[in-house]
Amino acid sequence: MEEFDVVIGLEIHAELKTKTKVFCSCKNEFGAKPNENTCPVCTGMPGALPIINKRAVELCIKAGLCFGCTISHYAVMERKNYFYPDLAKAYQISQMVYPICVGGEITLKDGKVKRLNRIHLEEDAGKLTHISRATGTLIDYNRGGTPLIEIVTEPDFTSPEEVDEFLKRVRESLVYADIADCKMEEGGMRCDVNLSLKPKGSTILGTRTEMKNLNSFKSVTRAIEYEIKRQKEILLDGGKIIQETRKWDDAKGKNMSMRSKEDSQDYRYFPDPDILPISITDDDIESIKSEMPVLPQKRREIYVEKYGLPEYDAQILTSSKYISDYFETCLKIYDSPKKISNWIMGDLLKLVKGREEFTFPIEEKYLCEIIKMVEERLINKNVGLQLMNDVIETGKSPAVLAKENNLIVVISEEEILKILNAFKEENSKVVQDYKVQPEKVIGFIVGHVMKSTGGKANPAIVKELIKKIF
Ligand SMILES: [Zn+2]
């Protein structure tokens, strides 16, 4: 079935992490009682006047900076007119002609560039809950007026795998930069998929369908696979694709026609006369740039190229900003990237396995102290792990606990000296060599001491003593 090219474009909505809604001062929070966070503005009362939330504009600019968009100096909020019960004023305040961010791109792992068309700011609608035919439908306007960004891509995608990677990259960046939580299960990030097929190699796009509000990575993939198959079958059968919005039913694993798809002109967009155009200065942009963290993609590059970590480690360490920040704090205390990575990936992550949100139960400085003890062979790895658990349990420092529990069993300097002196007498050749090129033989001598003490000497001390007496 290689007769068709698949063409996919995405519209991704993410709820912004602001304290209040985008055009009123109602709280922007998930999980409140129905209609608790509402006022005349966000329930669309006639005559109520919106005031734009500056932070929402800033977060939209920040999102643009994540993906290399051009930030507009002049942006306009427009009314998108349509009626739906979850949108009481019969228009959504959105952006059309002058969005805040234009262009931008994300490069996938295989080097393919996926272009953004724009990122704009808009408000979310309320939430309808259909109970039953008898009881009817309940409306909760808490979500109405929640600030959203909509990321619109160019039709650059050809497979569900590309879409999946792209969405994960978008989410990762938005979460890192503290723009949005992107909790898909709470509707914090949703994806609309526009999909069409065209004869292989053709430059003319086919008729597209739109699937709205897909709210998990898995359902996006399944919905795309299903829709490709559905359109293929119709086209191979000589039929025509109808431009429409189709609703994906995740439980049934199929989609069905919802309504014929409108084009943008059907919404009769026009500038909202209640909201002044937004003016964005270079200083505004610079100040938002200064609060940008290093994004995960860049961190992975640094971890691999500068710290010499395997790609696999870099991937896991950057899987959340928290882990990545933790790792980097450790690195400032104890500069041994691979050792720290091993402890975090192998031992710390095991402790929080299965939890979606977590903090590691041990402070960075204490973890580093333990790693250092193990590296200096003051304790072995198993004792180190035990010590970590004890630190977590008691909150005491590793040094204190090691002393209290007599964990550090090391050979005294005196005994090391005895071994070194004996070695010196029996190995005059090595002593000669040491005088000429100490760095060439010091390792050999340390090795001898470690061997004859069963690994219980502290190599740093051994080195110091060698330097003193040889
Ligand atoms: Zn309100």
Q: What is the mean pLDDT of the chain?
A: 93
For the chain, give every domain's residue range.
4-286, 293-404, 413-469
- Ligand 1 centre and the CA of 276: distance in Å? 19
The environment of the single-atom ion ligand 1, i.e. residues with CB closer than 5 A, is 24, 26, 39, 41-42
Band (pLDDT 50/70/90 cuts) for residue 1 is very low
Chain segment 127-170, per-residue pLDDT in tens: 999 988 888 999 999 999 999 999 999 999 999 999 999 999 99
Place of tokens 């209040």: 20
Band (pLDDT 50/70/90 cuts) for residue 261 is low
Residue 438, Cβ neighbours under 10 Å: how many?
13
CA–CA separation, 33 and 274 (whole Å): 30
Percent over 90 (pLDDT), the chain: 74
- Ligand 1 centre and the CA of 52: distance in Å? 12
- Ligand 1 centre and the CA of 18: distance in Å? 13
- Ligand 1 centre and the CA of 92: distance in Å? 14
Report, as an integer, the average pLDDT of 414-427: 89
Chain segment 197-234, per-residue pLDDT in tens: 999 989 898 999 999 989 899 999 999 999 999 999 99
Chain segment 293-308, per-residue pLDDT in tens: 999 999 999 999 999 9
- Ligand 1 centre and the CA of 264: distance in Å? 27
pLDDT of residue 110: 94
pLDDT of residue 2: 54
- Ligand 1 centre and the CA of 54: distance in Å? 16
Instruction: State the pTM of this model.
Output: 0.83
Chain segment 59-91, per-residue pLDDT in tens: 999 999 999 999 999 999 999 999 999 999 999
- Ligand 1 centre and the CA of 391: distance in Å? 48
- Ligand 1 centre and the CA of 38: distance in Å? 4
- Ligand 1 centre and the CA of 50: distance in Å? 9
Would you say residue 265 has pLDDT above 80?
no
**Is the domain defined by 413-469 classed in CATH 3.40.250.10?**
no
Longest distance between any two alpha carbons in the chain, whole Å: 100
Would you say residue 462 has pLDDT above 70?
yes
pLDDT of residue 367: 96
